[in-house]
Amino acid sequence: MEKYDVVVIGGGPAGYVAAIRAAQMGFNTLCVDRFKGKDGKYSLGGTCLNVGCIPSKALLDSSKHFDHMNHSYDVHGISFDNPKMDVATMIARKDKIVKQLTGGIAQLFKANKVKYIGGSGKLLKDRQVEINNDEGSQVVQGEHIILASGSVPISIPNVEIDNEYILDNAGALDINAVPEKLGVIGGGVIGLELGSVWNRLGSKVKVFEAMDTFLAACDQGIAKMAARTFKKQGLDIHLSTFVKSATIKDGKVEVVSETNGEKTTEIFDKLLVAVGRKAETDGLLADDCGIKLTERGQIDVNDDCQTSVPNVWAIGDAVRGPMLAHKGSEEGSAVAERIAGQHGHVDFNTVPFVIYTEPELAWVGKTEEQLKEAGIDYKVGSFPMAANGRALAMNEPTGMVKILADAETDELLGAHIFSANAADLLSECVVTMEFKGCAEDLSRIIHAHPTLSEAVFEAAMNVDKRAIHKAN
């Protein structure tokens, strides 16, 4: 039986980072991953690289260019005769980026001497792993095992995914022609990002959201501004609305929904189901392997990502915490470092969140609602993008930056940005929070002019009512 210091099951952003970090520190490391790409070949990178973060951003970018041609270029004096979108070219560009990046992970594995086997891994007892693929079955022994099996979409009753008419995230990334009418169940991150893609390309998009609050996890001041903006862009978002059934009839999808007791029946060309994801443990755990699951079906881990079995660790979407690539990767590095006797650390208070709509929504730390609920006294500083010179020069005046700081100590407690490039603007707030910095620290750093980052600078100054380019 082959023996390894570390066996990682799952080669997504959690697993592949753990494997590379373990190998960097001299461990003989194996990574097993079963994901197969569109060509039927094993493909590293997990959900994120194959059917998640990267392909969705590729389509968001293509559709943004098309949208700008249709709606924004005229203000610059640029005109076109009837711009056209060739969907097949857009999808092929996305597939090429996916191939390049997933192939890049395989190269990184080679460079770091991580052994990679395409196939399904099952944890047996005593840290043995059974690997099954087209070539057969084998069992390997690991000194340490890292479970990084990721997540899969949640399904809802009476709505069966076929990925031709009723789609999950993978299907929605591969639509071959712009649907005239697209229904989206779930007004969360995937619903808004992929709904935006097809809305920009010309689909009439209706979003069915069960909650009565739009983006309940976001700061509500920012979420309300975002809701108004998305509505103007054409996203038809219906809150407190539950889909009761979806039926494929004559090449269309009939959707029955209910809002406050009132039933509606509508016909869509395609329906995207994006109602959240759940930990993937299918085929991962032998009955006697000793791993405990939580009530929600996640692999049960302590703060250090240790499972109920000694030397077996679990990370990423398969365990508690936000389902984000960068959270999984941080856990992957931290666990590899703990195995090496170091002090790997993940700070859950400073995980950045981003929704890649246009403008982007990005935030870190606490919202105003959370601070109120916790009874923490806080100060608010804000700055509108419409008063930022660079934003106006870019024709991106929508949005604002909001900074929340402790009323007494001025420590930065949260930052909430709705603006062009918000994801990148957020980084300095994350750094400030990580260093336990305060709003004044942010406002005493020189920011280049003219930049969008000056809006963060001014919002931080506004905390102490000394913003220069707005009335305080």
Q: Does residue 195 belong to the site contacting ligand NAI (CB under 6 A)? A: no
Q: Does residue 188 belong to the site contacting ligand NAI (CB under 6 A)? A: yes
* Backbone φ, ψ for residue 292 (5° rounding): -95, 145
From 175, 197, 182, 209, select the one nearest 272 (Cα to Cα).
Answer: 182
From 37, 1, 232, select the one nearest 138 (Cα to Cα).
Answer: 1
State the Cα–Cα distance between residues 357 and 230, nearest whole angstrom: 9
> 349 and 415 in contact (C-beta within 8 Å)?
no
399 among the known binding-site residues? no
How far apart are CB 77 and ligand NAI at their closest, in Å? 34
Rank residues 170 and 445 by Cβ distance to ligand FAD and give the closer one. 170
State the Cα–Cα distance between residues 180 and 42, nearest whole angstrom: 34
Rank residues 29 and 47 by Cβ distance to ligand FAD and give the closer one. 47
Strand-strand pairing, 2-9 and 136-147: parallel
> 12 and 316 in contact (C-beta within 8 Å)?
yes
Q: Does residue 193 belong to the site contacting ligand NAI (CB under 6 A)? A: yes
* H or E element in which residue 65 lies: helix 53-71
Alpha-carbon 271 to chain mean position: 21
From 277, 161, 276, 296, select the one nearest 209 (Cα to Cα).
Answer: 276
77 among the known binding-site residues? no
Binding interface with ligand FAD (CB under 6 A): 9-15, 32-35, 46-48, 52-53, 56, 120-121, 148-151, 169, 190, 280, 283-284, 316-318, 323-326, 328, 356
Rank residues 339 and 355 by Cβ distance to ligand NAI and give the closer one. 355
Rank residues 390 and 416 by Cβ distance to ligand FAD and give the closer one. 416
Q: Which does 359 bind (CB under 5 to 8 A by kind): ligand NAI, ligand FAD, none?
A: none
190 among the known binding-site residues? yes
> 33 and 11 in contact (C-beta within 8 Å)?
yes
458 among the known binding-site residues? no
Give yes or no: 65 in active site. no
Q: Does residue 355 belong to the site contacting ligand NAI (CB under 6 A)? A: yes
In the bound state, the residue with its beta carbon closest to ligand NAI is 188
Q: Does residue 426 belong to the site contacting ligand NAI (CB under 6 A)? A: no
HEC readout, 272-291: EECCCEEECCCCCECCCCCC
Q: Which does 106 bind (CB under 5 to 8 A by kind): ligand FAD, ligand NAI, none?
A: none
Q: Does residue 156 belong to the site contacting ligand NAI (CB under 6 A)? A: yes
Annotated binding residues: 57, 121, 186-193, 209, 276, 317, 323-326
Annotated binding residues for NAD(+): 186-193, 209, 276
Active site residues: 449
